[in-house]
Amino acid sequence: MKKVIVTLSLGVLIPLMGVSQTTLGPGTTGTSLSVAGLPHNFSSQTWNPYQNVGLGGQICQPCHTPHNSNFAQVTEAPLWNHTLTTASFQMYVGTGSFGLNGGGYGLTAPDGTSKLCLSCHDGSVALGAFGGQTGSTTMTGYDNGNADLGTDLRNDHPVSFVYDSVIAGGVHTPTYIYKLFDGTSSGKAVSKLLDINGKVQCTSCHGPHSNSKGYQLSMSNQNSALCLACHKK
Ligand code: HEC
Ligand code: HEC
Ligand code: HEC
Ligand code: HEC
C-alpha cells in the first residue's frame, strides 16, 4: 500500500512538471560550476557577452556581481546581479482535501530563492538581463524550453510556504533526520532543506551550483530518497 502511494505521487507530479525523461538528461554531472557543460555554467552561452566592458563569458556574473548588486531587494542570495521577475504567478492549489492537511495552500506568490530561480525559469526575464544589460534570449524556447516553468505553477510542487510542525502530518517534522537513497542516515534534519525563513523553495530540492546528482538536485533521488526525506510514505 505504501509503495502504491509513492508511485501515485510521482506519477502525478512528473507529467505535471512538464518533465519528459526520455528527451531530457541531467547533462554533464560535476560537483561545482567550474566543470564546463554544467547547466548553470553559462560561460560559453551566446546570451552571456557582457559587452560593455568585454568581460563576457563569466560563470558567476549572470547571478552574482562583486559590485552594484541588488542587495536591497535580494537577501536570499549574496550580491545578486540578475533582474528579478515581476510576473504574476498562479500558485499550487491542491485538490479536494489535499494540501497542507486539508487546509488548502493559500499561496500567493513565489518568494525567497524561488523568485530568484524564476527570474530566469519563468521565461519572462531575459537570461542576459544582468549587470545593466537587458538581453533578449529568454527561457521560452531555449533548448526546447524544457527548463521553462512559465508563470503557471499550479502544476509544480508547491513552493514558498512555511514547513513547520503544524503542517507535519503527511510530512516529517522539521527536526526529522532524513535518510539517503541507500537507507543510511544523512545526518541532516529536514530543516536543512528549508530556506532561512523555514520555507520550502526550489532550493529545497535543487542547488544552484552543483550537479553531482543530476538535475542539480540537492541529493540523489534514487528510490525517491529526496521525496521521502520530507514525505512519510
Ligand atoms: C544560476 C545562478 C547562479 C550562478 C551561476 C551562481 N550562483 Fe551562487 N548562488 C545562487 C543562489 C540562488 C544562491 C542562494 C541560494 C543557495 O545558496 O541555496 C547562491 C549562493 C551563493 C553563495 C552563498 C552560499 C553558498 O553557497 O556559499 C556564494 C558564496 C555563491 N553563491 C558564489 C557563487 C560563485 C563564486 C559562482 C560562480 C562560480 C556562483 N555562485 C554562481 C545562484 C547562482
Ligand atoms: C541566469 C538565469 C538562471 C537562473 C537565475 C537560474 N537558472 Fe536554472 N538554468 C538556467 C539555464 C539557461 C539552464 C539550462 C537550460 C537548458 O539547457 O535547457 C538552467 C537549467 C536548470 C536546471 C536543469 C538542469 C538539468 O540538468 O537539466 C535546473 C534543475 C535549474 N536550472 C534549476 C534552477 C534553480 C533551482 C535556480 C534557483 C536556485 C535556478 N535554476 C536559477 C538559467 C538560470
Ligand atoms: C519537491 C522537490 C522539487 C522542488 C520544490 C522543485 N523541483 Fe525542480 N525538479 C525536481 C526533480 C526531482 C527534478 C528532476 C526531474 C524529475 O524527477 O521529474 C526536477 C527538475 C527540474 C528542472 C529540469 C526540467 C527539465 O525538463 O529539464 C528544472 C528546470 C527545475 N526542476 C526547476 C525548478 C524550479 C525553478 C523550482 C522552483 C520554482 C523547482 N524546480 C522546484 C524537484 C523539485
Ligand atoms: C523539503 C521537503 C519536501 C521535499 C524534498 C518534497 N516535498 Fe512534497 N511537499 C512538502 C510539503 C511540506 C508539502 C505540503 C504538505 C502536504 O501537502 O502534505 C508537499 C506537498 C506535496 C504534494 C501535494 C500534496 C497535496 O496534498 O496537495 C505532493 C504530491 C508532493 N509533495 C510530492 C513530492 C514528491 C514526488 C517529491 C520528490 C520529487 C517531494 N514531494 C519532495 C515537502 C517536500
Nearest-angstrom CA–CA distance, 154 and 133: 31
Q: Is 163 in the pocket of ligand 2 (CB under 6 A)?
A: no
In a domain, 70, yes or no: yes
In a domain, 49, yes or no: no
Our mutation pick for probing the ligand 4 site, out of 3, 6, 171, 177, counting the most ligand atoms within 8 A of Cβ, is: 171
Q: Global pTM? A: 0.91
> Would 45 be classed as within a structural domain?
no
Any ligand 2 atom below 6 A from CB of 80: no
Look at residue 98 in the predicted model and tell me its pLDDT: 53
Within a domain: residue 221? yes
Whether residue 54 is contained in a domain is answered as no
User: DSSP letter string over the chain?
Assistant: -HHHHHHHHHHHHHHHTT--TTT----S--SSTTSTT-TT--TT-TT---TTTT--S-SSTTTB-SSS--TTT--SSTTB-BPPP----BPP---TT-SGGGT--------HHHHHHHHHHTSSS-TT-BTT------STTGGGGTT---SBGGGS---SEE--TTTTTSB--TT-EEE-TTS-EEEEEGGGGS-TTSEE-HHHHB-SS--TTSTTBSS--GGGHHHHHHB--
Could you say which ligand is closest to the alpha carbon of residue 102?
4
Q: Ligand 1, closest atom to CA 195?
A: 18
- Say how many Å lie between the CA of residue 1 and the centre of ligand 4: 18
Which residues, judged by CB distance below 6 Å to any ligand atom, belong to the binding site of ligand 1? 33, 40, 59-60, 62-64, 76-78, 113, 116, 203, 208-209
Residue in 113, 149, 139, 145 with CA at minimum distance from that of residue 47: 139
Total residues belonging to the chain = 233
Determine contact, residues 174/164, Cβ cutoff 8 Å.
yes
How far are the Cα atoms of 70, 104, 121, 123, 137 from residue 145, in angstroms, in the given order? 27, 30, 10, 9, 11
Q: Note whether residue 36 is domain-resident.
A: no
Give the residue numbers spanning the domain of 116.
Answer: 1-26+60-233
Quote the pLDDT of residue 20. Answer: 33
Cβ within 8 Å of residue 29, ≥6 positions away: 38, 211, 212, 213, 214
Output the CA 41–ligand 1 centroid distance in Å.
Answer: 11
**If you take atom 29 of ligand 4, which residue's CA is the nearest one?**
9
Angstrom CA distances, 5 to 10, 135, 167, 228, stand at 9, 44, 19, 12
* Number of structural domains the chain divides into: 1
Q: Which of 19, 155, 230 to mutate to test the pocket of ligand 3 (most atoms within 8 A of CB)?
A: 19
CA of 40 to the centre of ligand 2 (A): 6
pLDDT at residue 12, as a whole number: 39
Instruction: Determine whether 3 is exposed, middle or buried from the number of CB atoms within 10 Å of its CB (0-12, 13-18, 19+).
Output: exposed
Per-residue pLDDT of the chain (233 residues; tens, 9 = 90+): 344 444 434 433 443 343 333 233 446 788 888 888 889 999 999 999 987 778 889 999 999 999 999 999 999 999 999 999 999 999 888 765 555 655 567 788 999 999 999 999 999 999 999 998 999 999 998 888 889 999 999 899 999 998 887 776 689 999 999 999 999 999 999 999 999 889 999 999 999 998 888 899 999 999 999 999 999 98
Look at residue 189 and tell me if it is in a domain. Answer: yes
CA of 58 to the centre of ligand 2 (A): 16
35 within a domain of the structure (yes/no): no
Asked if residues 153 and 92 have their Cβ atoms less than 8 Å apart, the reply is yes
